[in-house]
Amino acid sequence: MYTINPLSKKNLLLHIHKISNIFPELTSTELVTLMLHSSGLKPPRMGELMSISKKTINSHIENIRVKFQLDNYEEVKQVFELRITLNSNPERYKSLFPEISDELYQCMILVCMGFTIEEIVNREKEKTAELIRKQIEDLKSTYAVDFLSDLRVFFMIRLKLDQAKHG
């Protein structure tokens, strides 16, 4: 009996339109790579599923990392999960962060979703790069973190704790 592998590139491409608008900076192949990588698959298995080499998979992951200006491949997974989670209604999580202003929360959402300072300025027309940098420093100071990746982890932990609390 012949079955279609649900993780094949061909099958995933059929469903990519559901999230392609969340990641407009990625090609369809990069988005398939991102989905598989963020699901925990290793490059050799991803290569088998996509019918490309492990080296090509690593190249795609590196391109994604560079596009998001991230420091490592683990951050790529964080950005994927947070952008999917926060895309539709980020304001519903504001109550998890009562210690910061609405403006800082908005900045944190965009940073956690992997947007660069330039992209945030383009989205938030009334804000300058200097203001965004200051807000990022305020967030890092408030939460005693040195890196944006730590801010993303902190955000994810609060989300998970809230999900556990509400079942």
Where are the domains positioned within the chain?
9-67, 83-166
- Domain 83-166 annotated CATH 1.10.150: no
Rounded CA-CA distance 104/113 in Å is: 14
3-state SS of the chain: helix, strand, coil percent to 5? 70, 0, 30
Residue 1 confidence class, pLDDT cut points 50, 70, 90: very low
Please check the confidence at residue 4 and state whether its pLDDT lies above 60: no
Residue 34 confidence class, pLDDT cut points 50, 70, 90: very high
**In the CATH hierarchy, which fold is given to the domain comprising 9-67?**
Arc Repressor Mutant, subunit A (1.10.10)
Statement: the pTM of the whole predicted model exceeds 0.85:
no
